[in-house]
């Protein structure tokens, strides 16, 4: 039985993590911290947990957290980096669901996040937690940087083509769409039901923080910098990301469906759909899965990939649990075998 701590369990990523952890057969939820809710029962804030845990929020405390086998940070960007060094020293292992340890280049990180990094040394040790490319390193990591939601979908979607060097990687297009839960549980006019439902729009066209993260991973795979246009859009729904990816093939002869099927054959949480099937976000709602389809429309030289995930699961809390399973040698899908809701 692993003892787990969660720092910042009051956002959507946090509560999704709690949902997965209370159902995980090999995890005991030790503490959930929230400065502003100390003493409140977790199930009072989130009635979905009423039958499942009696735990209350506590102050973040180095001793209590440091005594856990695994500590998850589901905090705003910039929080984990101030607490992680002390917890590592006490022997806890860490999965950070925020962005503090995602970019390996400190200057780049500081450019996009607008603050100074509190522990560059830990940053240099952190492993980027995308199991499909880093499984081995994750197993040994003390600290895992859980990928962003868009980067998970876009990276898994482009990966086989980049690995094989089959496309013009200087003009990659990622047209991504996310449900509103990606924007978090903060009070915000733009994400009110009255603003975001019956509406659709692109945003952050000039530069989203997930752009350098995707470029970093794909560039490392390619062995050189890639050129990527990444346009996120806001969907009028709660959960789900769909990324439609476009690139020009160097040759139209490649069997792209076969390429993807073979690349992901052994991956428990990547599902390449049969020829002719299109991914739908609802088929991954609530589950740790990325479903992918790949096409050459009209037999032309432009390849189209569509990848879907639940932004809160494979794009956040589910992937965090998957990383934990790998770090502690559990079956990779332990606690992650539930079926998506339909409808």
Among residues 140, 96, 92, 105, the alpha carbon closest in space to that of 7 is found at: 96
Among residues 125, 83, 117, the alpha carbon closest in space to that of 100 is found at: 117
Annotation says 119 is catalytic = no
Please tell me which residue in 31, 68, 119, 149 is annotated as part of the active site: 149
Is the omega angle on the peptide bond into residue 343 within 30 degrees of 0, that is, cis?
Answer: yes
What does the block give as tokens for 300? 């032309």
CB of 176 to a copy of itself, least distance (A): 10
CB-based burial of residue 1 (10 Å sphere; 0-12 exposed, 13-18 middle, 19+ buried)?
exposed
- Would you say 142 or 268 has its CB closer to a copy of itself? 268
Using an 8 Å Cβ cutoff, are 85 and 119 in contact? Answer: yes
What does the block give as tokens for 321? 């649990």
Pairing mode of beta strands 270-272, 228-234: unpaired
What does the block give as tokens for 62? 């180095």
- Would you say 223 or 343 has its CB closer to a copy of itself? 343
- Would you say 142 or 233 has its CB closer to a copy of itself? 233
Residue 98 CA to residue 18 CA, distance in Å, equals 16
Determine if residue 211 is left, alpha or beta; phi over 0 gives left, psi from -120 to 50 gives alpha, anything else beta: alpha
- Would you say 63 or 298 has its CB closer to a copy of itself? 298
CB of 133 to a copy of itself, least distance (A): 21
- Would you say 44 or 116 has its CB closer to a copy of itself? 44
What does the block give as tokens for 260? 């993807």
CB of 198 to a copy of itself, least distance (A): 5
Residue 145 CA to residue 320 CA, distance in Å, equals 9
Using an 8 Å Cβ cutoff, are 101 and 142 in contact? Answer: no
Note the helical H segments in 24-79.
42-45, 62-66
CB of 146 to a copy of itself, least distance (A): 19
- Would you say 140 or 298 has its CB closer to a copy of itself? 298
Residue 3 CA to residue 13 CA, distance in Å, equals 19
The number of angstroms, rounded, from the C-alpha of 90 to the middle of its chain's C-alpha atoms is 26
CB of 120 to a copy of itself, least distance (A): 26
Q: What letter would DSSP give residue 309?
A: E
- Would you say 86 or 258 has its CB closer to a copy of itself? 258
Pairing mode of beta strands 127-128, 143-145: parallel
Using an 8 Å Cβ cutoff, are 281 and 310 in contact? Answer: yes
Active site residues: 149
């Amino acid at each position: 039985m692993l003892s787990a701590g969660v720092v910042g369990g009051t956002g959507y990523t946090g509560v999704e993590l709690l949902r997965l952890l209370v159902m995980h057969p090999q995890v005991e939820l030790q503490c959930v911290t929230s400065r502003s809710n100390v003493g409140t029962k977790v199930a009072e804030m989130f009635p979905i947990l009423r039958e499942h845990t009696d735990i209350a929020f506590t102050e973040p405390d180095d001793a209590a957290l440091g005594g856990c086998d695994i500590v998850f940070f589901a905090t705003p960007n910039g929080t984990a980096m101030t607490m992680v060094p002390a917890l590592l020293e006490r022997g806890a292992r860490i999965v950070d669901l925020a962005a503090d340890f995602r970019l390996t280049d400190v200057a780049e990180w500081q450019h996009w996040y607008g603050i100074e990094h509190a522990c560059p040394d830990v940053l240099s040790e952190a492993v980027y937690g995308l199991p499909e490319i880093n499984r081995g390193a994750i197993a040994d990591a003390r600290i895992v940087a859980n990928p962003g939601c868009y980067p998970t979908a876009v990276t898994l979607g482009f990966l086989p083509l980049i690995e094989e060097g089959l496309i013009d990687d200087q003009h990659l297009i990622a047209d991504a769409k996310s449900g509103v839960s990606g924007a978090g549980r903060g009070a915000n006019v733009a994400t009110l039901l009255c603003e975001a439902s019956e509406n659709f729009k692109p945003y952050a066209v000039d530069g989203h923080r997930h752009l350098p993260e995707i470029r970093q991973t794909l560039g490392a795979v390619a062995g050189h910098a890639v050129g990527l246009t990444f346009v996120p859009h806001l969907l009028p729904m709660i959960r789900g990301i769909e990324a439609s990816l476009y690139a020009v093939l160097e040759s139209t002869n490649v069997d792209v469906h076969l390429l993807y099927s073979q690349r992901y054959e052994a991956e428990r949480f990547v599902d390449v759909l049969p020829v002719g099937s299109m991914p739908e976000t609802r088929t991954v709602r609530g589950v740790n899965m990325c479903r992918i389809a790949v096409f050459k429309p009209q037999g032309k030289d432009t390849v189209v990939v569509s990848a879907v995930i639940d932004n809160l699961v494979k794009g956040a809390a589910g992937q965090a649990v998957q990383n934990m399973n790998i770090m502690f040698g559990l079956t990779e899908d332990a606690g992650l075998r539930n079926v998506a809701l339909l409808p």
